[in-house]
Chains A and B, each alone.
Chain A
Amino acid sequence: MAKKAAAKAAGGGGSPVLLACLIGIMLIMLSFVALPSVMILICGMLPTIILFFTAPRRASGALATMFSLNLAGVLPVLGILWARGHSVPTASIMLADPFMWALMLGGAGLAMFLMWFMPHVAATVLGVRYRHELAVLEKRKAALVAEWGNRVIEEPRRQ
């Protein structure tokens, strides 16, 4: 078990790097075909890239949220780029436009907000569910005591 865990830990350290390398190679290859889009993607997806390297491994949900919403912000910018002719100067102009940055990082901001807010929502939902389950179980316990007396509580202690 310990060996397995160690191997998993070792693999866990190498896997994101490998993925990053793969993505990097794909982007380099893509840059030969669509350099302006790659420029926008790299700049726009910076929050996701940073989170990818800094977030703990278990925070895959957060990474997915960040990736999805960040991409949701970058996709309209890419659409605009393609509409304006898909050239490096256009991409450079757009990257100098704060509105474009706001659009791209807004998605990341929204992701941050969701990551802060959703645990509260989940805790409230689960709290309600747990309280209900506890009440049901307490009722069952009371029914057992009513049927079998306090011995049903004391018997396991004796054993």
Chain B
Amino acid sequence: MAAIAEFEDEIAEDDADTGLPAGTIGDRYRVDFNAPLPAYDRGRARAFRAHDRDNAGRPLFALSLDRATPCRKTLIAKLIRQPVPSLLCPVADGPVGSGVKGISRRVLIFDRPGPPLREHLSALKPDHLEKFLANVLLPRIAEALSGLAERGFAHRAISLDNVFFGNDKAEGIVLGECVSAPPGALSHSVYEQVESAIAEPFARGWTNREADLYALGVLVVAILGGETPFADEAATITTRRRLSEGSCKALTRNLRCSSRKRVLIAGLLSDSIERRWTAERVKRWTEGFLEEAVVHAGDRHAPSPCQFAGEDHVHPRALAVALTESPAKAARFIASGKLESWIRNSLGDQRMAVEIAEAVARGGASSGRPAALEAMLVSRTALALDPDGPIWYRGLRLARGGLPAAIVDAVGSGDGARVATIAEFLAGPLLREWITHEAKRIKSERTSITEPIAVRIAHFVNDATQYGKGMERVLYELNPDLPCLSPTLDNAYVGTIGELLAALDVRASQISQKSRIFDRHVAAFIASRVENVDGVLKEIGSRQPTDIQWAVAVLSLLATLQHHFHAKSLPGLSRAVAAMLRSQMSEIFSTARREVLVAKIDALAEKGDLSRMHDSLDLAAQLRIDRAEFEDAVAYYGQIDRRCRVLAARPARESIATQDLSDWLASSAAFIAMMASAAGTLFVFLT
């Protein structure tokens, strides 16, 4: 018990020092945010020292995940349960920091490996390199890849930066982690197969296990050459060369090595998946068996060149890349019919020629902005020329299955122009055409987005102004494991509705402008995770935050969520909603009703039960009654006011009523006098 108390004291001290959250995962692993370990940083995820309470001497590091980088959740869970040998596997996963400052970060704990291989590459003597490859590196990596394959996954993060020694004494090899980012996102483009090399880093898709072996081939070239080949060159230039010459030839042109190693490299860098070496063949190579490898000679080529943008092209796939680099010129070139003629006559591919002719015809028949039509024409043509390559649209390059993570990257980095381009792509016909194209080429169930999902996505994009829709909704629909990216949450890692309510509860008490707790991201996150909330979100979206109806709708939604997800007391959120309601109480016309409601709100806010607050206040009905009564009051006031003006404006002396009363009084008196006179006269006459 004393040890636990000491442990928690240390956490509290860290928290005070850094302002960052502190905490433990599973009451066992403690993250020291004061001790960064930049050597283990991965993309936007930051590494820190971590400690194991059960084993003080165990070196660990924690990777604090970036919420705008989708992690491989299923693989994380799998690797924690069943670690793979020679692979840096997470030992624990969980939020850190909740409860202290209320802001949680998702952290993965890893056993800390030795230094990165890259840092010690120069220390490896050239004579020992083959031995190192055969006895240390390749067996370990093959073991890691086989282990992953047994679990149904590919690594997709092999690069020179992601290979470590097993310990501080530079013994053994461990393949770095592959779970903190989407597949291929953190590697240089040369580690990617030609199909996905020019795709955006986050849009490289899942591809396959063969892609790991290709990356392993590039890793071998990098180790032998001392650095990643063509690391400083633009991805499109390297890729065009790889498409023209074949990856092996393009990447090893300056490499000097033995023929045995050349066979290994040729086997791994084959652009043909069927001819590429398998893990077993790599293992056989390490065991000294003589294996054969066919050097792939690049893409097919035409006997006569096609001239585009001042360059001669003979390879259709390389030409596809060149077309997408100058879309305006490409559109004119395609429309002129020269490309179709070259394909038909020189390349001799009638099917491809027909596809391009169809693309030209479809472009002429479509309506839209000229730039979008141009882009669609180039995109369709590029897809026809390179059916396995990424789809291109106005600067976007998306490989198979790469769309969800590409959206996360665009939205997460706040690149409005890229988000707009993606939205245009999703709303247009290209996405559905791409789906049809993919469905024809690959039969796997996990190919990509299906037709009904595409229709749904287009609907969300077209209704972009509505709350709970737009690109934010697409983001969360396509990335079901993604945490909420709302700026309100201050980088907190919020993966579920329960966590969202807890995070909003904390943030609500920290921010001064309470209406900011509910934004488009929060709305879209809720809409994508909870059913039947579109109506209330529409109500929220149609009102301004200064409108009481807005606050009422927010209360209604939060109350439903609290009730539905059995969230505990939410005092912060209750107080924030109460503050919003109070600030907009001026919209309740009746002073008495307002005072009663304010008193009720204040009392209910402290209880933290939004559901009860919603039911007790019944603000929707109160507002309706208040409005009706106010209208009656206005009408009544008008009547009174008119009567007052009549009374004030007309002097009593001049009024008809005065005349009538005067006549009545005078005639009455006169009549009495007459009767008295008649009676008197009669009396006198008779007596």
Q: For B647, what are the chain A residues with a Cβ–Cβ distance below 8 Å?
A: 130, 133-134, 137
Contact indicator B677/A61 (Cβ below 8 Å): no
Contact indicator B674/A75 (Cβ below 8 Å): yes
Whether a CB of chain A sits under 8 angstroms from the CB of B589 is yes
Q: Which residues 69-104 of A have a CB within 8 angstroms of B?
A: 69, 71-73, 75-76, 78-79, 82-83
Kindly state the separation between the CA atoms of A137 and B636 in the bound complex, as whole angstroms. Answer: 11
Contact indicator A61/B667 (Cβ below 8 Å): yes
Whether a CB of chain B sits under 8 angstroms from the CB of A8 is no
Contact indicator A72/B644 (Cβ below 8 Å): no
Contact indicator B591/A61 (Cβ below 8 Å): no
Contact indicator B663/A62 (Cβ below 8 Å): yes
Contact indicator B661/A156 (Cβ below 8 Å): no
Q: For B677, what are the chain A residues with a Cβ–Cβ distance below 8 Å?
A: 71-73, 75-76, 107
Contact indicator B644/A122 (Cβ below 8 Å): no
Q: For B565, what are the chain A residues with a Cβ–Cβ distance below 8 Å?
A: none
Contact indicator A144/B633 (Cβ below 8 Å): yes
Whether a CB of chain A sits under 8 angstroms from the CB of B666 is yes
Kindly state the separation between the CA atoms of A60 and B663 in the bound complex, as whole angstroms. Answer: 8
A14-22, A26-34, A147-155 - the one binding chain B: A147-155
Contact indicator A138/B644 (Cβ below 8 Å): yes
Contact indicator B674/A122 (Cβ below 8 Å): no
Contact indicator B589/A148 (Cβ below 8 Å): yes
Distance of A113 from chain B, by nearest CB (Å):
9
Name the one of A69, A82, A144, A155 contacting B673, with C-beta atoms under 8 angstroms: A69
Whether a CB of chain A sits under 8 angstroms from the CB of B530 is no
Kindly state the separation between the CA atoms of A79 and B634 in the bound complex, as whole angstroms. Answer: 67
Whether a CB of chain A sits under 8 angstroms from the CB of B4 is no
Q: Which residues 631-687 of B have a CB within 8 angstroms of A?
A: 633-634, 636-638, 640-641, 643-644, 647-648, 652-653, 655, 657-667, 669-671, 673-674, 676-678, 680-682, 684-685
Kindly state the separation between the CA atoms of A78 and B674 in the bound complex, as whole angstroms. Answer: 13
Q: For B669, what are the chain A residues with a Cβ–Cβ distance below 8 Å?
A: 65, 114, 118
Q: Smallest CB-CB separation from B672: which chain A residue?
A: A68
Contact indicator A119/B637 (Cβ below 8 Å): no
Given contact pairs A79-B681, A121-B665, A126-B652, A68 touches B638 in the complex (Cβ within 8 A): no
Name the one of A123, A138, A145 contacting B653, with C-beta atoms under 8 angstroms: A123
Q: For A130, what are the chain B residues with a Cβ–Cβ distance below 8 Å?
A: 647, 652
Kindly state the separation between the CA atoms of A71 and B681 in the bound complex, as whole angstroms. Answer: 12
Given contact pairs A65-B666, A114-B669, A137-B644, A152 touches B630 in the complex (Cβ within 8 A): yes
Kindly state the separation between the CA atoms of A130 and B665 in the bound complex, as whole angstroms. Answer: 19
Name the one of B630, B644, B662 contacting A121, with C-beta atoms under 8 angstroms: B662
Kindly state the separation between the CA atoms of A84 and B671 in the bound complex, as whole angstroms. Answer: 27
Kindly state the separation between the CA atoms of A80 and B634 in the bound complex, as whole angstroms. Answer: 69
Contact indicator A65/B652 (Cβ below 8 Å): no
Q: For B670, what are the chain A residues with a Cβ–Cβ distance below 8 Å?
A: 64-69, 72, 111, 114
Whether a CB of chain A sits under 8 angstroms from the CB of B592 is yes
Given contact pairs A68-B670, A114-B670, A146-B591, A61 touches B663 in the complex (Cβ within 8 A): yes
Size of interface on A: residues with Cβ below 8 Å to B: 49
Interface secondary structure of B, over-half rule: helix
Distance of B38 from chain A, by nearest CB (Å):
62
Name the one of B589, B592, B657, B676 contacting A72, with C-beta atoms under 8 angstroms: B676
Whether a CB of chain B sits under 8 angstroms from the CB of A127 is yes
Given contact pairs A61-B664, A72-B677, A114-B670, A119 touches B640 in the complex (Cβ within 8 A): no
Kindly state the separation between the CA atoms of A65 and B666 in the bound complex, as whole angstroms. Answer: 6
Residue of A61, A83, A144, A153 with highest tally of chain B CB at under 10 A: A61
Q: For A148, what are the chain B residues with a Cβ–Cβ distance below 8 Å?
A: 589-591, 630, 633-634, 637
Q: For B590, what are the chain A residues with a Cβ–Cβ distance below 8 Å?
A: 147-148
Whether a CB of chain B sits under 8 angstroms from the CB of A140 is yes
Given contact pairs A68-B671, A72-B676, A138-B644, A123 touches B652 in the complex (Cβ within 8 A): yes
Name the one of B592, B648, B676 contacting A134, with C-beta atoms under 8 angstroms: B648
Name the one of A107, A123, A155 contacting B634, with C-beta atoms under 8 angstroms: A155
Given contact pairs A126-B652, A137-B640, A114 touches B666 in the complex (Cβ within 8 A): yes
Q: For B680, what are the chain A residues with a Cβ–Cβ distance below 8 Å?
A: 75-76
Given contact pairs A137-B644, A147-B591, A68 touches B667 in the complex (Cβ within 8 A): yes
Distance of A74 from chain B, by nearest CB (Å):
9
Contact indicator A69/B674 (Cβ below 8 Å): yes
Q: For B653, what are the chain A residues with a Cβ–Cβ distance below 8 Å?
A: 119, 123, 127
Given contact pairs A134-B647, A144-B637, A127 touches B652 in the complex (Cβ within 8 A): yes
Contact indicator B673/A62 (Cβ below 8 Å): no
Kindly state the separation between the CA atoms of A125 and B661 in the bound complex, as whole angstroms. Answer: 9
Contact indicator A75/B681 (Cβ below 8 Å): yes
Q: For A61, what are the chain B residues with a Cβ–Cβ distance below 8 Å?
A: 659-660, 662-664, 666-667
Residue of B589, B634, B636 with highest tally of chain A CB at under 10 A: B634
Whether a CB of chain B sits under 8 angstroms from the CB of A57 is no
Contact indicator B662/A119 (Cβ below 8 Å): yes
Q: For A83, what are the chain B residues with a Cβ–Cβ distance below 8 Å?
A: 684-685
Q: For A60, what are the chain B residues with a Cβ–Cβ distance below 8 Å?
A: 663
Name the one of B592, B643, B658 contacting A123, with C-beta atoms under 8 angstroms: B658
Q: For A64, what are the chain B residues with a Cβ–Cβ distance below 8 Å?
A: 663, 667, 670-671
Kindly state the separation between the CA atoms of A125 and B685 in the bound complex, as whole angstroms. Answer: 40
Q: For B638, what are the chain A residues with a Cβ–Cβ distance below 8 Å?
A: 156
Q: Smallest CB-CB separation from A58: which chain B residue?
A: B659
Q: For B630, what are the chain A residues with a Cβ–Cβ distance below 8 Å?
A: 148, 151-152, 155
Distance of B226 from chain A, by nearest CB (Å):
79
Kindly state the separation between the CA atoms of A152 and B590 in the bound complex, as whole angstroms. Answer: 10
- As a 0/1 sequence over residues 260 to 301 of chain B, the CB contacts with chain A under 8 angstroms (1 = contact) are 000000000000000000000000000000000000000000
Kindly state the separation between the CA atoms of A92 and B591 in the bound complex, as whole angstroms. Answer: 84
Kindly state the separation between the CA atoms of A63 and B329 in the bound complex, as whole angstroms. Answer: 108
Whether a CB of chain B sits under 8 angstroms from the CB of A49 is no
Whether a CB of chain B sits under 8 angstroms from the CB of A115 is yes
Kindly state the separation between the CA atoms of A151 and B590 in the bound complex, as whole angstroms. Answer: 10
Kindly state the separation between the CA atoms of A68 and B673 in the bound complex, as whole angstroms. Answer: 7
Distance of B322 from chain A, by nearest CB (Å):
65
Q: For B674, what are the chain A residues with a Cβ–Cβ distance below 8 Å?
A: 68-69, 71-72, 75
Given contact pairs A123-B653, A148-B633, A79 touches B643 in the complex (Cβ within 8 A): no
Q: For A149, what are the chain B residues with a Cβ–Cβ distance below 8 Å?
A: 589, 591
Q: For A68, what are the chain B residues with a Cβ–Cβ distance below 8 Å?
A: 667, 670-671, 673-674
Kindly state the separation between the CA atoms of A156 and B639 in the bound complex, as whole angstroms. Answer: 11
Name the one of B589, B591, B666, B678 contacting A62, with C-beta atoms under 8 angstroms: B666
Q: Smallest CB-CB separation from B655: which chain A residue?
A: A126
Whether a CB of chain B sits under 8 angstroms from the CB of A35 is no
Kindly state the separation between the CA atoms of A51 and B663 in the bound complex, as whole angstroms. Answer: 15
- As a 0/1 sequence over residues 590 to 604 of chain B, the CB contacts with chain A under 8 angstroms (1 = contact) are 111000000000000
Whether a CB of chain B sits under 8 angstroms from the CB of A39 is no
Q: 17 A-B residue contacts at CB 8 Å?
A: A61-B659, A61-B660, A65-B670, A67-B670, A68-B671, A72-B677, A72-B678, A73-B677, A75-B674, A83-B684, A107-B677, A114-B670, A118-B665, A122-B665, A141-B641, A148-B637, A151-B630
For the complex of A and B, the 9 pairs showing the least CB-CB separation, nearest first, are A61-B663, A68-B670, A72-B677, A79-B681, A122-B661, A122-B662, A68-B674, A127-B652, A118-B662
Knowing that A65-B663, A122-B662, A126-B655 touch, tell me 11 more A-B residue pairs with CB under 8 angstroms: A65-B667, A72-B673, A76-B684, A118-B663, A122-B658, A130-B652, A137-B647, A141-B640, A141-B641, A144-B636, A152-B633
Q: Which residues of A are at the interface with B, using a C-beta cutoff of 8 A?
A: 60-62, 64-69, 71-73, 75-76, 78-79, 82-83, 107, 110-111, 114-115, 118-119, 121-123, 125-127, 130, 133-134, 137-138, 140-141, 144-149, 151-153, 155-156
